[in-house]
Amino acid sequence: MTFYALFLPFIAALFAPILTRYLKHNAAWVLAAAPALLFVHFLGFADGVAHGERFTGGYPWIPSFNVNFSWLIDGLSLTFVLLITGIGTLIVLYAGGYLKGHRHQGRFFSFILMFMGAMQGLVLSDSFLMLFVFWELTSITSFLLIGFNHAEERSRRSAIQALVVTGLGGLSLLAGLLIIWNITGVSEMSLLLSTGDLLRDSPFFIAAFVLVLGGAFTKSAQFPFHFWLPNAMEAPTPVSAYLHSATMVKAGVFLLMRLNPVMGETAAWETVLPIFGGFTLIAGTLLAARQTDLKLMLAYTTMASLGLLVMLTGFGSEKAAEGAVLYLIAHSMFKGGLFMVAGNVDHEAGTRDVTKLGGLARAMPVTFLAALFAAISMGGLPPFVGFLAKEEIYAGLAHGDTWSIMITIVAIAGNALMFVIGFAVALKPFLGPKVETPKHAHEGPVLLLAGPAILALCSLFAALFSGWFHEYFSGPMASAVMGHEAHITITIVPHLGLAFYLSLLTIVLGVLLYLSLARLRAAMAGLLEAIGWGPDRGFDQAIVGIVKFSVAVTKTIQNGRLEFYITATFVMLAAAILIPMGIAGDWPDALAFPKLYFYEWLLVLIAVLGQFAVIWAKNRLTAIVSLGIQGFAVAVFFMLMGAPDLSFTQFMVETLSVVILALAMTRLRLSPQDHRSPFQMVLDGTIATATGGALTLLLLRVLETDFDASLTEFFNTYSYQIAHGRNIVNVILVDFRGIDTFGEIAVVMTSGLAILALIRVLPRRSRSSSSEPPAPAGEAAGKMA
């Protein structure tokens, strides 16, 4: 069942465009059934997982490399997959309303379902390689979704930027996983988790750690790789709500949580993660304060939240990990909801600029209520799940040592700023005097309201029924993150303790900052202007630099002159053979004078004469034809030596190559005569002699080695017995080595196509650039005729 479940989103994606053609936006109702079904399917595991069970399954994929297509359902992946499919259902419905009447709505459904399949596969993967494949697939589908409005240049730039950053991170992750595989000898997460300290004690731990972080930090938009996330807001809002807040960007955090039991509790882990996470938290909130676009404000707080999660995952205390788990779930609910609210406002009022909005509460009551609920959860106020998360975070961080105090201060500052942004998004557009908006605002249809409303209620219920919520979701997930059983007990009834006072402090700070948001925004804008450079611009500079560099390299190496190419190839070839031979002193022995029959001497004479004819020929055509003489003489030799097949082929190849060479020469419009300077001729002659000599020496040397006849014997014996053919050469080609031949003929065909394309493309260009009549070609053709 789970195997089919892994593919269901892709199947739904396949049918999405057709369904949308017939049902228009109502296709959302049908398509949402796919993630809803998956949600129900995976919910069935909740009971078992809550009792500490782990479900695995799979099939051999590449057995010779011990690679399986296998999945793992434990507390961590179960909670993730429920978020993915649950929010996925709401997002599909939401997209039905949001993109109603869009020309490519079917395509959009298809992309988002594909993404869902990739993300689901990512969190369920047990095998490293499967994890990597799905990881990259989320990058690719994210690229498609960000670039959905592909007619706009900004969308395209953002899409490419996200793909480059997360794609590079994916490669880094692959390298990291391969190192882990090498260290531990296992290629599956479920086995890795039981290897204990093996990974931590390895001398290559740091390499694996850095490479894995490269994947996790790019995907989860940690500073300094954060810049792609705000730019990804070019995507339609359902995408921002789903990929860039609730699911995909959490993949990095997921990975860190997954590896926490085997990589955590090390100095590197507990230093690097909190530092990068904390920095991202502060940077994200400050950058968010500077924005006025609802979506961008949310995007930067998402980055900040991811920073908080990374920081908590790396902090190392049990409560901190529990706080991370609770915050992750809470964040998916409130941030997904807030993004959909921002989308609703944009959709119904026509703008997302917070300074141009106000007083929408009366026109959009449901949206307002959903926004308010989400913001309360985000601000960490009871009775929402965000409150539980924050209490747990403070309980986890607040210790007496300097390091903990620093981290706690960072968390308080970050949380206070997020409190500000959350309420700025939820209150500013709705309260205050009514502001004239581009569109006449009114409440959206049920498709647009279902998502934010249900998520807001989930935030509430998860907190109200916290005992049940901890037993089935957050508890098992925290156990998986820590590697041993964990019990979360936090409820909405606050305990008067340090955590509670820190919470109060956060709220007071938040309210104060909220009241001076305009000043904060101006200050941040001034600061950023003063810096003037950011990783976003750096990305552009890097891309431009790479393009310039490759243009320069191409211009040097590919200068378009055939003489240069041939000279370079021949010099390299000769050097590659002669230099190693010279260094090793591995020359062939002197040849004994051969004993040949007189007619064989005659053939040698013909071949040599042919060579001289090539050199002395007055024009190129004669030279080419003379080249054939030597080839035919060799063919006759083959015949005399008892290789009829070889000789036969040599004849044909020689004939055709002369014909084609002659035709190509006429095509090149070279003058029939050779006009090289004597110096050039000597140089070319030297290179030619060196190359020819090198190849001859190589052949002679190869022939001196002992001949291993076992293959010959094998083919002699079995050619007729097994393959029913007496012509060994042919049997090898079409039967014993069939797959080689298959590859070769594919190459023959591809080069045929390439030649065809080259012949068709080049003259058109030269014809348009020069009006010069093709006189030399005509002459050459005339000579040939």
Partner 1 sequence: MRTLIFRTIAPFLSSLMILFSVFVLLRGHNQPGGGFIGGLIAASALAIYGIAFGVSPVRRAIRFHPMALSGFGLLLAAIAGMLSIFSGVPFLTGLWVTPTFFGVPIALSTPMLFDIGVYFVVFGSITSTALALEERERD
Q: Which stretch binds partner 1 (CB under 8 A): 28-36, 199-207, 599-607, 656-664?
A: 656-664
Question: Which value, to the nearest 10 degrees, does the dihedral of the CA atoms of residues 505, 507, 508, 509 take?
Answer: 80
Q: Running DSSP on this structure, what letter comes out for residue 589?
A: P
Binding status of residue 755 toward partner 1 by CB under 8 A: yes
Answer for which of 520, 623, 777, 779 binds partner 1 (CB under 8 A) is 777
DSSP line for 209-224: HHHHHHHHHHHTT-TT
Name which of 183, 173, 163, 79 is nearest 128 in CA terms. Answer: 173
Nearer to partner 1, 349 or 731 (CB): 731
Nearer to partner 1, 56 or 655 (CB): 655
Answer for which of 515, 542, 596, 759 binds partner 1 (CB under 8 A) is 759
In the three-class reduction of DSSP (H, G, I as helix; E, B as strand; rest coil), residue 492 is classed as: coil
Binding status of residue 652 toward partner 1 by CB under 8 A: yes
Rounded to a whole number of angstroms, the minimum distance from the CB of residue 732 to partner 1 is 10
Can you read off the two tokens belonging to residue 175? 């390298």
Helix-strand-coil split of the chain, %, nearest 5: 75, 5, 20
Q: Which stretch binds partner 1 (CB under 8 A): 272-280, 415-423, 509-517, 657-665?
A: 657-665
Binding status of residue 775 toward partner 1 by CB under 8 A: no
**Do the beta carbons of residue 307 and residue 422 sit within 8 Å?**
no
Nearer to partner 1, 171 or 663 (CB): 663
CA distances from 749 to 743, 755, 775 (A): 10, 10, 33
Binding status of residue 60 toward partner 1 by CB under 8 A: no
Q: Which stretch binds partner 1 (CB under 8 A): 143-151, 196-204, 673-681, 755-763?
A: 755-763
In the three-class reduction of DSSP (H, G, I as helix; E, B as strand; rest coil), residue 202 is classed as: coil
Nearer to partner 1, 683 or 755 (CB): 755
The Cα 219–Cα 242 span in angstroms is: 14
Binding status of residue 756 toward partner 1 by CB under 8 A: yes
Q: Which stretch binds partner 1 (CB under 8 A): 235-243, 290-298, 472-480, 756-764?
A: 756-764
Within 350-445, where are the H helices? 365-379, 385-397, 402-427
**Do the beta carbons of residue 237 and residue 343 sit within 8 Å?**
yes
Rounded to a whole number of angstroms, the minimum distance from the CB of residue 707 to partner 1 is 23
Pattern of binders to partner 1 over 710-729, x per CB under 8 A?
-------------xxxxx-x
The C-alpha angle with vertex 231 and arms to 229 and 237, in degrees rounded to 5, equals: 85
Pattern of binders to partner 1 over 661-700, x per CB under 8 A?
--xx-xx---------------------------------
Within 44-127, where are the H helices? 46-50, 75-98, 105-124
Rounded to a whole number of angstroms, the minimum distance from the CB of residue 782 to partner 1 is 10
Nearer to partner 1, 672 or 725 (CB): 725
Rounded to a whole number of angstroms, the minimum distance from the CB of residue 633 to partner 1 is 19
Answer for which of 508, 615, 659, 695 binds partner 1 (CB under 8 A) is 659
Nearer to partner 1, 180 or 731 (CB): 731
Name which of 381, 441, 446, 602 is nearest 97 in CA terms. Answer: 446
Nearer to partner 1, 504 or 653 (CB): 653
Question: In one letter, which amino acid is 291?
Answer: Q
171-186: burial string, b at 16+ Cβ within 10 Å, e else: ebbbbbbbbbbebbeb
Answer for which of 204, 403, 468, 648 binds partner 1 (CB under 8 A) is 648
H or E segment to which residue 755 belongs: helix 738-769
Nearer to partner 1, 103 or 726 (CB): 726
Beta-bridge mates of residue 69: 59
CA distances from 784 to 619, 623, 763 (A): 11, 12, 21
Q: Three-state SS across 299-366?
A: HHHHHHHHHHHHHHHHHCCHHHHHHHHHHHHHHHHHHHHHHHHHHHHHHHHCCCEHHHCCCCCCCCHH
Q: Three-state SS across 537-554?
A: HHHHHHHHHHHHHHHHHH
Size of the site for partner 1 (CB under 8 A): 45
CA distances from 420 to 282, 374, 384, 511 (A): 13, 13, 17, 7
Q: Running DSSP on this structure, what letter comes out for residue 115?
A: H
The Cα 104–Cα 21 span in angstroms is: 10
Nearer to partner 1, 571 or 749 (CB): 749
Nearer to partner 1, 206 or 748 (CB): 748
Binding status of residue 641 toward partner 1 by CB under 8 A: no
Rounded to a whole number of angstroms, the minimum distance from the CB of residue 720 to partner 1 is 9
Q: Which stretch binds partner 1 (CB under 8 A): 100-108, 132-140, 273-281, 648-656?
A: 648-656
Binding status of residue 645 toward partner 1 by CB under 8 A: yes
Nearer to partner 1, 622 or 649 (CB): 649
The Cα 166–Cα 449 span in angstroms is: 32
The Cα 448–Cα 444 span in angstroms is: 6
Q: Which stretch binds partner 1 (CB under 8 A): 125-133, 196-204, 649-657, 675-683?
A: 649-657
Nearer to partner 1, 68 or 647 (CB): 647
Binding status of residue 56 toward partner 1 by CB under 8 A: no
Rounded to a whole number of angstroms, the minimum distance from the CB of residue 629 to partner 1 is 18
Binding status of residue 764 toward partner 1 by CB under 8 A: no
Answer for which of 56, 184, 404, 655 binds partner 1 (CB under 8 A) is 655
Pattern of binders to partner 1 over 735-754, x per CB under 8 A?
x--xx-xx--xx-xx-xxx-
Which residues sit at the interface with partner 1, rule CB under 8 A?
644-645, 648-649, 652-653, 655-656, 659-660, 663-664, 666-667, 723-727, 729-731, 733-735, 738-739, 741-742, 745-746, 748-749, 751-753, 755-756, 759-760, 763, 777, 781, 784-785
